[in-house]
A and B are shown apart, each in its own frame.
Chain A
């Protein structure tokens, strides 16, 4: 064992004490934030413009402290989740490639049918795959490709999904007039995160490709949402500080914010089981530069997934304006996510399964690397790990006992 745990004892002890002290202070800050939420609840319209300037949550027409109880959950609806994972190109490996694996699950509530799991691996190995404008497809570039693969898979599945029963009889208003009872779910955010050091044309191309898939989901009559577990965003708490500064954006930026590190979810811990917060608009610049002109402006709300008598479990849900602005679609997303999360306790079942289907384990990585090596040998290419990778295999495999 190379991690000297005994050398960490004092540091871990100190960390525990510090965290306990922070938690006591945290309770005071939560109380302050909740007081401000109520106090400034009606000031949404006034705060809308300055909020955008300081990247705080942008209020909608609802009071900031609005609470919406859990709507009636339809008996039959479909949740489609997709998630992805990747193997980064490794210059120490037997060959230079990347792998994206997208897992998805189609779960038809109330059908009694087994959900449909699927995994789709894609290998990138040609020069065109591996380089984009001269840059190696790794890090954020590969993340973007994975995100695009996930949303494309969701759009494909939504397009293939037959129109479901309407339940209440109220169609969710698809372009083709198909009754919409399908919720597409992604893990994390709907806003494609592209590094700003890339050219604007490149950013636009990537984001537009993502938005095209959101449009396909809308055209299929489905709705789409993103789920963040234990979110750490501080956009609503920044808005509250702005409200306390009477909407003065420059004061809010200059003066110390007592709520600076307080996550939004702490403010919404008072939501009753299943209830959601008011809707807000995401202040991200990408949201305004690209999503809004394409009709996909991202909104969000917080929801308490816990059942009666349990500690609150607050998640953040993002959804495009065409879902947020339609009462039926919004209620469908709200109810579907709570129903899904309550299967497991606090996380949507379909997302948990999609993650499982996407996950590439260490053993699978090793097996795939062996497969690549064999294929190269069959093709007459002699290959080897880099010296660094080779010695890692020697030092990290563990030791064997003498067994006689």
Chain B
């Protein structure tokens, strides 16, 4: 469970639907597919919430040259830590917070009126924030309808993250409620629903 304000990276480019951020190095828990992140909004105390749906590492002819060789450790670390900067992380916007505090009341699941601006910091949400944000399931529709993201996999991963942010004895109840909401939203698409529920059962 995370309780601190962990920086993921800085915003490279953004739109109301999502944003791309750059981070220097991949750490064991940051950035992770399906995790909840937060950027500060322009109004004091406001924030934009998102879900990480892609982590990209680019290559170029120089790094490709070392694939078939056996480069020294210094070269491997140079390529990883110095040259592949920034690692690009794509985020789907799923909600906003208006004003200070992280209780569920001032959080809305919708696209932000304004995106974050270039070089804003993006933070990993604390467990408290994840619990507050996932107290409702309105963001499901935003994810399920998002184009160009692996929507089902992303939603399942976000629910796994949300369950992990709760006490152990609360997790099952939370996932059952999430499953019910999914059943309602995907009533007309039983195949997709089954796939999603299967993913949730693996928590």
Contact = CB atoms under 8 A, between A and B. Distances in A.
Contacts of A112: 73-74, 77
A349 B71 CA distance: 11
A343 B72 contact: yes
Interface string B57-88: 00000100100000111110110111100000
B35 to A, nearest CB: 26
A208 B24 CA distance: 41
A117 B65 contact: no
A234 B78 CA distance: 37
Interface string B79-120: 011110000000000000000000000000000000000000
Contacts of A111: 74
Contacts of A352: 62
Contacts of B62: 352, 356
A114 B77 contact: yes
Contact of A353 (B72, B77, B78, B81): B78
Contact of B75 (A343, A345, A356): A343
In this complex, the member of B65, B75, B78, B80 whose beta carbon has the largest number of chain A beta carbons within 10 angstroms is: B78
Contact of A345 (B65, B78, B80, B82): B65
Interface string A19-40: 0000000000000000000000
A344 B74 contact: no
Interface in A110-141: 111-115, 117
Contacts of B72: 109, 343
A374 to B, nearest CB: 14
A183 to B, nearest CB: 15
Given A344-B65, A345-B65, A108 B82 contact: no
In this complex, the member of A112, A114, A344, A345 whose beta carbon has the largest number of chain B beta carbons within 10 angstroms is: A114
A299 B121 CA distance: 53
A108 B81 CA distance: 15
Interface in A345-388: 345, 349, 352-353, 356
Q: Which 5 A-B pairs have the closest CB atoms?
A: A114-B77, A112-B73, A114-B81, A115-B78, A117-B82
Given A107-B78, A114-B80, 11 more contacts: A108-B74, A109-B72, A112-B77, A114-B78, A115-B74, A117-B82, A343-B71, A343-B75, A344-B65, A353-B78, A353-B83
10 contacts: A107-B78, A108-B74, A109-B72, A109-B74, A113-B74, A113-B77, A114-B81, A115-B74, A352-B62, A353-B83
